[in-house]
């Protein structure tokens, strides 16, 4: 499991939590999500996309994951954004499974469709 956090304090807290949970397979990386994706060589079964809302990085990160083939066939992607925000543009092979709102947060669950290629 890889966790990515660019901010020092949050990064340190994630490291502490992983240590307390004895999560031996958890690696915490202090860098931006873009830097991590650009250097990653591992395809994932599950990805959580929850960038700072004001940064508007959903489409950029989704495209990077797809272009670099970092999602396994039929991977699951959790995406979180502001409740009043429209869904960002995402790869064509991401199929929406659930779309809910809780307070000011919109959270969605997608599945990468095996065998389909993105048109974008």
> Residue 77's domain is classified under what CATH number?
3.40.50.150
Same domain, 116 and 76: yes
Q: Please give the model's pTM, rounded to 2 decimal places.
A: 0.85
Same domain, 12 and 54: no
Residue 53 φ/ψ, nearest 5 degrees: -55, -40
Q: Residue 24 domain-assigned?
A: yes
Q: Is residue 77 part of a domain?
A: yes
Whether 69 maps to a domain, the answer reads: yes
Number of H helices, E strands in the chain: 3, 6
For the stretch 12-60, pLDDT in tens is 999 999 999 999 999 999 999 999 999 999 999 999 998 888 888 999 9
């Amino acid at each position: 499991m890889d966790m990515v956090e660019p901010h020092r304090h949050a990064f340190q807290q994630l490291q502490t939590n992983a240590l307390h949970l004895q999560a031996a397979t958890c690696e915490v990386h202090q860098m931006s999500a873009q830097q991590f994706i650009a250097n990653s060589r591992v395809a994932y079964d599950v990805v959580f996309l929850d960038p700072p809302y004001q940064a508007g990085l959903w489409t950029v990160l989704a495209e990077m994951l797809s272009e670099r083939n970092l999602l396994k066939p039929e991977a699951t992607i959790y995406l979180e954004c502001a409740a009043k925000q429209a869904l960002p543009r995402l790869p064509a092979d991401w199929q929406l499974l659930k779309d809910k709102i809780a307070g000011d947060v919109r959270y969605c669950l997608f599945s990468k469709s095996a065998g389909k290629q993105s048109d974008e």
